[in-house]
């Protein structure tokens, strides 16, 4: 599951979900009524010209896609269970979250979903020149034991992913969450490097193999573009150098798991107070 909006810095989560959709043989098996859950002044419908020259509206919403039963193409997702993967993608709803979560989880149960993986992305003090971290956690004890991951300890404001995770666990569906860190100083553009990071972690956990398409070349071009911006801005370049030094310290053999966990908590709290809002309404700036 992935949602655009607060949970989707750099469009990384929705980008990873779309990559799965692009390479899986899926059909829509369910969709919510947008009138019930969306504020169109906040998440507006869009209009686009079709191949037939007719303009059509697309309304915000969320849809569940499942296997068509026709098999995958030669360049599709492969690995154990690849023919059973479902993908839910949409915009974060504006209201009636409890009802929304109930409808989504009912759809998952009806489709026979056995585990839910939530994809998210957050703005963080992460240098674009280093591998982008993906944090994995679960509220489910059996999942934590099997994967050797931690229970989330964050307390504060949450997005729809946390609401859905709670609803899924209450319904007996195990869950885990993957969150990619996206450099906050390049929040205005999609981050294919973060999409790649999420897909790689998803592959590690599930055993699936997801075709990359143009993502690797897109990620290289994205990094080169940020390099060019920093080359013209001394303050930005100096700030990135500070982030690189901090990241290299965390990645050093001396860094403890506790230190890394503390950094993750800082990222989440910054999101909660608005300074890391993935909607990208703040310009980049060095922090004191």
Q: pLDDT tens, 133-147?
A: 999 999 999 999 999
pLDDT of residue 251: 74
CATH match of 2-272 with 3.40.50.360: no
**Confidence (pTM):** 0.85
pLDDT of residue 44: 94
67: β partners: 26
Residues ≥6 apart with Cβ < 8 Å to 250: 259, 260, 263
pLDDT of residue 180: 97
Which residue ranges of the chain lie beneath pLDDT 70?
A: 71-74, 252-288
pLDDT of residue 74: 57
- pLDDT per residue over 35-92, tens digit each? 999 999 999 999 999 999 999 999 999 999 999 877 655 578 988 889 999 999 999 9
pLDDT of residue 82: 92
pLDDT of residue 282: 43
């Amino acid at each position: 599951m992935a949602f655009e909006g607060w949970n989707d810095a750099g469009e990384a989560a929705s980008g990873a979900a779309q990559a799965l959709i692009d390479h899986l043989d899926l059909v829509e098996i369910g969709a919510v009524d947008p009138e019930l859950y969306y504020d169109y002044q906040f998440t507006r419908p869009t209009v686009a010209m079709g191949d037939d020259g007719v303009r059509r509206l697309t309304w915000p919403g969320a849809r569940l896609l499942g296997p068509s039963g026709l098999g995958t193409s030669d360049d599709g997702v492969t690995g154990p269970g690849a023919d059973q993967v479902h993908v839910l993608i949409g915009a974060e709803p504006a209201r009636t979250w409890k009802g929304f979560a109930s409808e989504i989880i009912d759809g998952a149960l009806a489709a026979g979903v056995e585990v839910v993986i939530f994809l998210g992305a957050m703005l963080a003090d992460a240098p674009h020149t280093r591998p982008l971290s993906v944090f994995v956690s679960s509220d489910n004890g059996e999942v934590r034991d099997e994967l050797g991951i931690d229970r989330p300890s964050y307390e504060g404001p949450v997005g729809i992913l946390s609401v859905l995770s709670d609803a899924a666990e209450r319904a007996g569906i195990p869950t885990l969450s993957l969150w990619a860190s996206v450099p906050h100083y390049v929040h205005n553009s999609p981050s294919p490097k973060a999409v790649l990071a999420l897909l790689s972690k998803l592959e590690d956990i599930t055993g699936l193999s997801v075709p990359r398409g143009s993502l690797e070349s897109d990620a290289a071009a994205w990094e080169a573009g940020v390099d060019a911006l920093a080359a013209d801005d001394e303050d930005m370049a100096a700030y990135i150098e500070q982030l690189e030094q901090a990241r290299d310290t965390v990645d050093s053999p001396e860094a403890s798991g506790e230190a890394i966990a503390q950094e993750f908590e800082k990222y989440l709290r910054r999101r909660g107070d608005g300074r890391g809002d993935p909607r990208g309404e703040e310009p980049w700036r060095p922090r004191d």
